[in-house]
Structure 1
């Protein structure tokens, strides 16, 4: 245990038994872990995906924060982790969230980015089709307006 410590820590602990060493090190670093946990929780609660952002990157960032919490001893239950991610999504994912909760879907964190990416790609395809449809209608409307102007000028 001593060989993995800095020289200063080795000097301080050279006359201690391993259990005493462990307790002393815990007392030195426990406040640092609490501060780190607080900062990670702040980052988690502030995480919000904005419209146009990449959902897979966002979810991977949140999973990384959740895993950092686990590495310092704060393990979140699976449903809490899932709910944190779901609440960070924008309104455009409302249908996904409703379906996810209604179907009582149980998914591990590694599968979550793929599910959300699939949903996102399916909704963007629908929007692009609608955009093409709406632009075609507006050009037909403009053509009709121009024809009306021409016929009204011809009548005069």
Structure 2
């Protein structure tokens, strides 16, 4: 149910719209003149450059079974250590100086030809450096000969 005021308002609005369109058409037609330098320019506003949103797509996982790896071990060559045999002679040589123990001046187990105190006297060797005391300048110091 429409009321009278709503119908009047509606008709008035329609009439005002038609009048505005007619005035605009008349104003546009009156400004047009016959010339040879007529230019038409239509500008549409450019919003500028809009960067698109970044798109990230995660790659699908790739499952690859690795190839079997076989490494042949290198051969191991073991060479035994050389064995050195030294003959000490019939009387032995404890200190390995080349003199048999029975004749060695530095051997404490065998006193030199019956001397009880083998380190004293002119034929003894007090510092056990291999030089008899009579030829040794420092008979009690083994660091000097």
Q: Which has the higher contact order (CA 8 A, sep 6+)?
A: 1
* Bigger fraction of residues in helix: 1
TM-score, with length taken from structure 1: 0.19
TM-score, with length taken from structure 2: 0.21
Which has more radius of gyration?
A: 2
